[in-house]
Structure 1
């Protein structure tokens, strides 16, 4: 991809966030550390600071003009536009962006702790201390509470989209399929979310609300408690089918505190209206955190 990353003076600005266009000559691209369906994540240095560089390009063999107009440009512009307006300790900070079809780059702050997913699957899989589980859950809940206060729905909350600093504080990242709440009333016609973490109404492609994030939060909380992959004995498609058609959910650990068990089960309720909002979730978790200190 290096041929796309050589500055040639024809960078295109995103209309909603022109001020976020970076000077590519000041970006030093390092090794890749993660990959997705159409994107790759690289270490980088921009103006002397460590950054993460998300590079997205058209799939090979596609009509780049069509894909660029209907998919890549739209997702890129939305992600930059949303990130540029967000400021919170538990949300990753945008550094800048750059685009020249068929490649787009989103540059964010880099956190040395890596993804929550990698952390949970490492270190032998021993159970996390309950205090750490609650602290991390609170970081995530506070971040989502802030997003919802800004009328933003993440729609792809999962451990791979949560990153850690060197003190195990958690930040929410990857806003590639996030949307304003006003945009969620229509049915979903494109790929949104990740099956193992996806609310039933999203799987069905139906109109949805901010409550899809509450469902995904419950699955992430289950991950924190178990350090396992949800529905690991199924393929992603099988997991989605079971959630929608059999009301399947991960098995709650036997040693799970009753308050967290109840919280998970409320959050992954089939009925979105039965799921708590994040103001309630933060308050409940803060009270539980205080009870642990007594």
Structure 2
């Protein structure tokens, strides 16, 4: 039995086992429903010839099989006899279910690439963090309500073996613990909402260590509401008018409410300290352990293809989310490897456009360092040839193709070339740096398609 058949067989077994569930029924039912949704792309894979399944897809299936094993343990646990005692001990179930559901969400992101655009949107809606947390909170609340009903209607049992009823105080403490867990999940839903991008008080931030010190700002690792964050504090701000900055900030967060993706950098808000008439401005954002994608490719040159492909997929999802957010697609305007940040699990997040207007109103401009990666390397040939050529989505896809080439090779694009040489190679000689021979064919193909010299031949972020 191959891995696809094992996944489908185990999912079917879990579905059948659910009929016997007596405890935590709402949470178990939600788990079974999400597993059934995940089977859609799995069946698409099963219909393909085995040789067409990529290494990345096979790794996702292995992870799914393992998570299904954990899900089966949960369903079986709450299907057993002595269910009243087991339910009363189920105050710790929220952690068990949250972990399994989060793992299913991670797998869904990878498998969603097998679906068509219209299918993909509906598929991923079931696994969006905000939706999932809200549903999980409701399920936990419903299961607890049933627990309260059981306790209220139960009389003192004659069976001395039911020791769970002897200690009323212990039972009440277990219920209190369950309420605390529910509050944690509800709080997580609220913090995770894009609508909660807000002005943050200084005493709500904890600064840990300085990560970067530039002529315009200092960057710190810190904490906000128990979330690890990066705090960018600006030096010598362009304006000392907090009212002006707040006005721009309030307008800009209305746009940011439309963005929600694990592959777009999370913004928490802005902090304004007003002391002695000299305000200090800070922007609070999600912390990414590995820094920029360019940092990772420079410092970790021996990454395996599984991680490289994971980073390429993450970068593509971030760009896709940006391009598909509005009816008239929004463009980033400056796609390069330094605009993607890499979290501890090598999840790539698109940055560089969040709160850009707010930041521009605060920071002073500085000269570009042309000794580092030249931005000319990312500019599409049509824009290099004609500065009046409109910047459109295909232009941005070309830039993304250069980023994919970096992921595949770890090299710096057009390293050592002058700006004039870059223009000469790109526009006059139609030169395209090759990817290595060991590059997986799928990655090679999409990298070359994105770097096509004819804009009409480039794919979309989808």
CA contact (8 A) 2:197 2:253 kept: no
Aligned to 1:49: 227
1:94-131 Cα distance to aligned partner (Å, 9 max, x none): 111245898643211112232222221114x22x3222
Matched, 1:94 2:267: yes
After TM superposition, give the deviation of residue 82 of structure 1 in Å: 4.2
Which has more radius of gyration? 2
After TM superposition, give the deviation of residue 234 of structure 1 in Å: 1.9
CA contact (8 A) 1:75 1:176 kept: no
Matched, 1:229 2:412: yes
CA contact (8 A) 2:261 2:318 kept: yes
Structural mapping, 1:71-150, within 5 Å: 80-98=253-271, 104-123=281-300, 125-126=301-302, 128-150=303-325
Distance in 1 between residues matched to 2:266 and 2:445, nearest whole Å: 33
1:217-258 Cα distance to aligned partner (Å, 9 max, x none): 211111111111111122467535643454443233233344
Aligned to 2:173: none
Matched, 1:249 2:432: yes
After TM superposition, give the deviation of residue 178 of structure 1 in Å: 7.3
Aligned to 1:196: 377
After TM superposition, give the deviation of residue 165 of structure 1 in Å: 2.2
The structure where strand makes up a greater share of residues is 1
After TM superposition, give the deviation of residue 261 of structure 1 in Å: 2.7
After TM superposition, give the deviation of residue 148 of structure 1 in Å: 0.8
CA contact (8 A) 2:249 2:355 kept: no
> Which stretches in structure 2 are left out of the alignment for 5+ residues?
1-194, 358-367, 369-373
Higher alpha-carbon deviation: 211-220 or 72-81: 72-81
After TM superposition, give the deviation of residue 31 of structure 1 in Å: 3.6
Higher alpha-carbon deviation: 231-240 or 261-270: 231-240
After TM superposition, give the deviation of residue 141 of structure 1 in Å: 1.0
Aligned residues: 241
Distance in 2 between residues matched to 1:213 and 1:227, nearest whole Å: 20
Tell me: CA distance 1:272–1:78, structure 2 relative to 1, closer, same or farther (3 Å): farther
The structure where helix makes up a greater share of residues is 2
Higher alpha-carbon deviation: 227-236 or 32-41: 32-41
Distance in 2 between residues matched to 1:23 and 1:237, nearest whole Å: 48
Tell me: CA distance 1:239–1:78, structure 2 relative to 1, closer, same or farther (3 Å): farther
Matched, 1:219 2:402: yes
In the superposition, the TM-score normalised over structure 2's length comes to: 0.44
Distance in 2 between residues matched to 1:205 and 1:73, nearest whole Å: 34
Aligned to 2:330: 152
> Which stretches in structure 1 are left out of the alignment for 5+ residues?
1-16, 180-190, 280-294
After TM superposition, give the deviation of residue 26 of structure 1 in Å: 2.1
Q: Which has the bigger relative contact order, CA under 8 A and spacing at least 6?
A: 1
Matched, 1:173 2:351: yes
Tell me: CA distance 1:43–1:19, structure 2 relative to 1, closer, same or farther (3 Å): closer
Distance in 2 between residues matched to 1:158 and 1:131, nearest whole Å: 21
CA contact (8 A) 1:156 1:178 kept: no
Tell me: CA distance 1:55–1:247, structure 2 relative to 1, closer, same or farther (3 Å): farther
Aligned to 2:460: 277
Tell me: CA distance 1:79–1:153, structure 2 relative to 1, closer, same or farther (3 Å): farther
Identify which of 329, 342, 351 aligns with 1:164: 342
